Amino acid sequence: MTHTTTDQPTRREASGTLVPVLAFAGIVVAVMQTLLVPVIKDLPQLLDTDPSNATWVLTSTLLSGAVATPIMGRLGDLYGKRRMLITSLAVMVVGALVSAFTSALLPMIVGRTLQGFAMGAIPLGIGLMRDMLPRERLGSAMALMSSSIGVGGGLALPAAALVAQHTDWHVLFYGAAGLGVLSIALTLLVVPESPARAEGSFDLLGAIGLSAGLVLLLLPITKGRDWGWTSATTLGLFGAAALVLLLWGVLELRLKAPLVDLRTTARPAVLFTNLASIMVGVSFYVVSLVLPQLLQLPKATGYGLGQSMVVAGLLVAPLGLTMMFTAPIYARLSAKYGPKVTLIIGMVVIGIGYGAGLGLMSAPWQSAVIAVVLGAGIGLAYSSLPALIVGAVPASETGAANGLNTLMRSIGTSVSSAVIGMVLANTAHNVGGMAIPTMHGFRLSFLIATGAVALGLLMALCLPRQSRPAQHTQLRASSEEEAGIARAEAVLRGFRGRVLDADGVPVARAKVTLIDRRGRQAGATLSSQDGGYALTVPAEGPYVLAARAAGHGPHASAATHAGDERPVDLDLSLPGETVHA
């Protein structure tokens, strides 16, 4: 049996600047999302439209981001993660420029819809890190990439407030376009393309079905408060979403190369991680909605803290800064105890932050304390999620799986926005025709966030038990360069061994591909200097391991893995290359 996937002729080395450049792309995405937060209340006046119409400027970005995230992840697996990362950022730049040149509602919605495509950068960046980095650097790198969405949001809030307060609000979009162009340039200069490719073709029908289902689901979540939660429109859309997503799931299960492998998604390690992600998304957005409003309400209310837009942004900024600083802490904790334990710790810290926040709402400095505690917990939780996903899916599905996980977080923030918006609206005082949020509404919002964290903690506890990463062993290459390209690690569940030539001499840099029963690539690696390789299997069953290297003929061996927590040792022997006359 011969595996027909073509290799890249050469592979560029991942430099030390790879991680900062990819994390910067994530920060740019977060900046795009946070851009209009300081001017939300002024949008109807700025766009000369009704408040209900102005909300589409925010809803459109959410919807396009939710649709683009899993689709761009799958396209990255098939056609190149770097290529799709640059495409996502380029579409965002176009959208930012469209918004920068208009003050009309419809063009603004179009521009913001295009900006939402940048959300695909997060799973693509995580996938590139998995493909490029040695194991010892991967944990902290993925943690930084995953938390970059919070880092960028926390840092962008005061910056955007400063710009909005002192200059024309369109400058926000020019700034976002400039950051996008810079991120594209750095990616082109620093980030090599990953040679890893998934088998099959793009599932266009699946992409259309998922897009339709997500739009039908998220529209009533985000607009239900305006339309009425029991209105025919809201209930009809929820029913249509359930039907479309059910039909989409049936279709995906029947396809050989689906957009999302639902069988992999249904595995406990993936399923409970995604469910926990929704709760983390809820908890992150509640503090982002509540604290800025509490800080900016006038002191005359009796509970407002009377801070300016810029000062309020600065007091909430520690939320993002703390998330950034928890990345190296996460790496140490995860290396010792595993990402499951780190996720549990993060959830507990978030719960402590919201619990303490119920009694710390009477002074500006207390808001900063809440932001720091919640930032630490959310940073640990966010950092754990991609590591749990990456450890549970084959390498060829990293982009799509992380895209789906990022989508779960987006659904969490959407639900949070709708529920907290409804709570604050229903508990508000009406003063001079204006709805003023109450302290009761703020505290109720924190209680809802605490409940979401408790559910997330329950999901985290349901995750399968993992052995400590410290128990994994590595067969290190003789040089740092080799260690960056080819690593042979003893895996708990998968195949391991050495690639040898006909005389039993180890073969370095041999491409070893794992092929599942459906003929799809389930993983790939390069052998180390001593010929060692290791590949994790996504599930029990029969596999084929195909190996090839320059100067040698190809070799394929059939093997079966029982799915237990033990590696199967299998050496692969390459014949000498046949020379044709």
SS3 of 110-162: the string is HHHHHHHHHHHHHHHHHHHHHHHCCHHHHHHHHHHHHHHHHHHHHHHHHHHHH
Does residue 38 or residue 553 have the better pLDDT?
Answer: 553
The SS3 assignment for 478 reads coil
The answer to whether 259 and 207 are in contact (CB under 8 A) is yes
Name the phi and psi angles at 390, rounded to 5.
-60, -35
**Residues 155-198: tens digit of each pLDDT:** 777 777 777 777 888 888 998 899 999 999 999 998 888 777 77
Considering only CA atoms, which of 5, 332, 317 is closest in space to residue 136? Answer: 332
Six-digit token string for 355: 């619990």
Structure tokens at 18: 């790879």
Q: How does residue 581 score in pLDDT terms, banded at 50, 70 and 90?
A: very low
Residues linked to residue 362 through DSSP beta bridges, in sequence order: none
Distance CA 497, CA 533 (A): 6
Separation CA 518–CA 504 (nearest Å): 31
Report in angstroms the alpha-carbon separations of 274 from 18, 281, 370, 398: 27, 11, 26, 14
215: number of Cβ within 10 Å: 17
Range in 351-355, 359-363, 487-491, 507-511 the model is least confident about = 487-491
pLDDT digits (tens, 9 = 90+) for 415-435: 777 788 778 777 877 766 667
Triad 39, 452, 160: Cα angle to 5°? 20
Distance of CA 54 to the CA centre of its chain: 27
Specify which of 188-197, 405-414, 455-464 reaches the highest per-range mean pLDDT: 455-464
pLDDT in tens, 84-128: 999 999 999 999 999 999 888 899 989 999 998 888 888 888 888
Q: For 291, left (φ over 0), alpha (ψ -120 to 50), or beta?
A: alpha
Lowest mean per-residue pLDDT among 280-284, 426-430, 466-470, 485-489: 485-489
Run of H or E including 558 = strand 555-561
Cα distances from 127 to residues 72, 138, 369, 525, in angstroms, run: 11, 11, 34, 14
Query: Does residue 7 have a pLDDT over 50?
Result: no
Residues 543 and 550: beta-carbon distance below 8 Å: no
CA distance 380 to 350: 9
Q: How far apart are alpha carbons 187 and 201 in whole angstroms?
A: 26
Structure pTM?
0.67
- Looking at residue 193, its pLDDT comes to 82
Structure tokens at 570: 């299998």
Cα–Cα distance for residue pair 149/87, rounded to 1 Å: 19
Residue 240 reports pLDDT greater than 90: yes
- Of 463, 538, 542, 533, nearest to 493 by C-alpha is 538
What is the distance between the alpha carbons of residues 170 and 179, in angstroms, rounded to a whole number? 15
d(CA 521, CA 529): 24
What pLDDT is attached to residue 88? 93
568, 580 Cβ separation under 8 angstroms: no
**What CA–CA distance (Å, rounded) separates 136 from 122?**
21
Q: Which two tokens stand for residue 366?
A: 């207390």
